Structure 1
Amino acid sequence: MKKKLVQLVTTSFKEKFNAEPAHIFLSPGRINIIGEHVDYNDGFVLPAAINKYVCFAVSETENGECNLYAKDLDESYSFNLNDDIKPVEQMWVNFFLGVLYQLKERGFAMKGFNISFSSTVPMGAGLSSSAAVECGFGYALNKIFNLGLTKQDIALIGQKAEHTFVGVNCGIMDQFASVFGKKNHVIKLDCNTLEYEYHKADFKDYALLLLDSKVKHTHLTSGYNDRRNEVEKGLAILKEHYPEVKTFRDLNEEQVTAVKEQLGDVIYRRCLFVVREIQRVLDAVAALEDQDFVKLGELMYKTHDGLSKNYEVSCEEIDFLVDAVRNDENVIGSRMMGGGFGGCSINLVKKEAVDGLIERVSKEYKEKYNITLKAYKVKVAKGTTIYKEQHAGI
């Protein structure tokens, strides 16, 4: 798959620019094993890069001329490096311009470039195709023009590009996972300090399977903003009762429950989810260290139930996908992944049962919603990188 993607992008670059590309880069999408909606609540997350990539073929130009070609859309965009850089109508272009704007602001000396790119990271499935584009592009410019950026710089530049040019106020997890990914390892990331550690994630007899509901309900943004407001209110009330508390990390379930009446039903359930989810990430790390995948799976189900009932960011279709595998002996864990209101469920499935499961759930889902389910078998992969074989006759 990787070779095929590299070949496709190399060929498209040759056709577009009438030359061989000087460099090939790969930037992965990501999954999050557990730790949902805690990146903005002072918690920990447990993401990993996956073997779905955005591939870039790149060469520099001499005259400041910059040409971008999106192979999958068959769309081009050209500008000069010395132009004022502002967001444009073509949304995909803003992922590039946002990163370039950050680099220009920092005063880096660069030349122009030709880029052709294509992706196997599914759009809109919650696998962070946008972070893969931002980080891959930042990584490429850093390598080609010797900018001296660290991996953390690249992730933060990608995040800021998303805030300023794309208009999505995302946390740091997606970009961090894309850049820092390590094969067969998950990253325990502290979203406050950006301290991180790797934990081995060789799932042995189990495979990671994503089931894409193919739905995206429109209240993702409004629902997300509402949740942020609700937990902020909740934390303020909890701090009044417990002056020593600075963040949700300092609280336990009993403390939240003791203030239930003052919080009110909705805010109580939101805060309860956050405190439990922060603990679940720590429990999941311990389960991975012990290679206790059954325990990890149980935590995933608990996360889903919390997201669905207490945080209320799931939707009927995703609940259906989780419930469809809940009593299947070949599935040890399943949950909604990402912001919610659609997207994918992430499942831990016995390797030999994957194809049969896809067939069964696809049929049931089609009968219920008349939607064709998409399934992605993924592996934990390494982060953004230069593709080593770009001159090996591909």
Structure 2
Amino acid sequence: MNYIDKVRTVEKVYKRKPVLIVSAPGRADFLNTHQDYKGLPVVPVAINLRTYVFSLGAEKDKFIIDSLNLRKGGSRYRDKVPLKDISLVRGKWFGNYLRGVLLAFKEVFDFEPDKGLRIVIYSDVPIGSGLASSAALEVAFGKMLDEFYGLKLSPKDLAEACFYAENGICKIPCGRLDQYSAAFGEAILLYPKPPVKVEKLPLKGLKLVVADSGIRHSVADIHPRRQSEINRGLQELLSMPDVPERVKEKLAPRFDEVSWEELSLEELSPFLQRID
């Protein structure tokens, strides 16, 4: 379904014309998967599947947020979020990502709106496909807040706030890869270790094809598991008596405390095969 068809669908379902429409792309993790949360450089590439956020106008004292995808699937699809005293709800709920963005904007930008919005979300980015559907949702919603309330955020401001929403507020142990890709678009070289740096990469004449493996992927599920495996391996390395002290000085019991940029595969290789 193209953009025009989406607009017409929203108008048909809600009998109203959107007053503002924004979107953000999903992404392919092109180089260095699972390196961003270790603070190492990564290369994401935005794809042509996007999450669209439609505003149907202002609401007096709350945000009313519908997922048209969930509505069409016959699932619970509406979240009502008060302007004050926002909190996450228990369990897996799409509205928590948006509540997280609202809480992050309040904390980071002193965002205290005097009116809410009537929002409809319609997304092409498949959930659980490894294409950063949650980040596309967060960034598209954050961009809607930016445009509607005139916040004048830079792409970096938007990306960092949405990263904080997912990582710091929703407590999903992601890195910065997904939110920065959604906010900047195209292809970027991201240095995620603060102070964060972003370099645009040229894509002229290059065509990338992304295939669906059919394997479900959830950041909330796979990242804690992978990080736990890394921590376990680090602790085994630190316990080996023959690992040189100069190498141990670069290691740590936790993945986010290691001096990764100073380590080489050559100095670790003799010991890696002995890890269970």
1:203–1:249 Cα change, 3 Å: farther
Residue 303 of structure 1 corresponds to none
Letter in 1 for 2:46: A
Q: Distance in 2 between matches of 1:150 and 1:187?
A: 16
Counterpart selection for 1:176 from 180, 188, 191: 180
Q: Give the letter for the 1:109 counterpart.
A: E
The residue type paired with residue 58 of structure 1 is S
Q: What is the aligned-residue RMSD (CA, Å)?
A: 2.8
Matched, 1:104 2:106: yes
Distance 2:95 2:146 in 1: 19
Q: Which of 28, 36, 40 is the aligned partner of 2:33?
A: 36
Where does residue 126 of structure 1 map in the other structure? Answer: 130
Q: Report the CA distance shift for 1:219/1:27 in structure 2 as closer, same or farther (over 3 A).
A: closer
Task: Check conservation: 2:67, 2:121, Cα contact below 8 A.
Answer: yes
User: Where does 1:1-394 land on structure 2 (aligned, <5 Å)?
Assistant: 1-4=1-4, 7-13=5-11, 15-16=13-14, 18-61=15-58, 63-74=60-71, 75-82=77-84, 84-89=85-90, 91-105=93-107, 106-110=109-113, 111-182=115-186, 186-192=187-193, 193-202=195-204, 204=206, 207-215=208-216, 220-221=222-223, 223-230=225-232, 232-233=234-235, 240-242=245-247, 245=250, 247-257=259-269, 260-261=270-271, 265-266=274-275
Q: Which moved more, 1:208-217 or 1:67-76?
A: 208-217
Cα deviation 1:348-386 (Å, max 9, x = unaligned): xxxxxxxxxxxxxxxxxxxxxxxxxxxxxxxxxxxxxxx
Secondary structure, aligned partner of 1:198:
strand
Percent identity among equivalent residues? 27
> How far apart, in 2, do the equivalents of 1:247 and 1:179 lie?
28
Q: Is the 8 A contact 1:189 1:197 kept in 2?
A: yes
Query: Secondary structure at 1:256's aligned position in 2?
Result: helix
SS in 2 for 1:40: helix
Distance in 1 (CA, whole Å) between partners of 2:224 and 2:116 is 39
1:234 and 1:10 mapped to 2: Cα distance?
Answer: 58
Distance 1:207 1:162 in 2: 28
| Greater C-alpha radius of gyration | 1
CA deviations over 1:296-318 (Å, ceiling 9, x no partner): xxxxxxxxxxxxxxxxxxxxxxx
The answer as to whether partners of 2:55 and 2:117 remain within 8 angstroms in 1 is: yes
TM-score by length of 1: 0.58
Counterpart code for 1:104:
K
The one-letter code of the counterpart of 1:78 is K
Q: How many residues are paired up?
A: 256
- Gap regions ≥5 residues in structure 2: 72-76, 251-257
Query: Does the CA contact (< 8 Å) of 1:60 and 1:114 recur in 2?
Result: yes
Q: Give the 4+ runs in structure 1 shifted more than 6 A.
A: none
Measure, in 2, the Cα distance between the counterparts of 1:174 and 1:200. 19
Q: Which amino acid aligns with 2:227?
A: N
Unaligned runs of 5+ in 1: 268-394
Distance 1:255 1:172 in 2: 28
Alignment CA distance shift 1:197-1:219 (3 Å): closer
Flag the structure with more relative contact order, 1 or 2, with Cα contacts below 8 A and sequence separation at least 6: 1
Deviation, 1:247, is 1.8
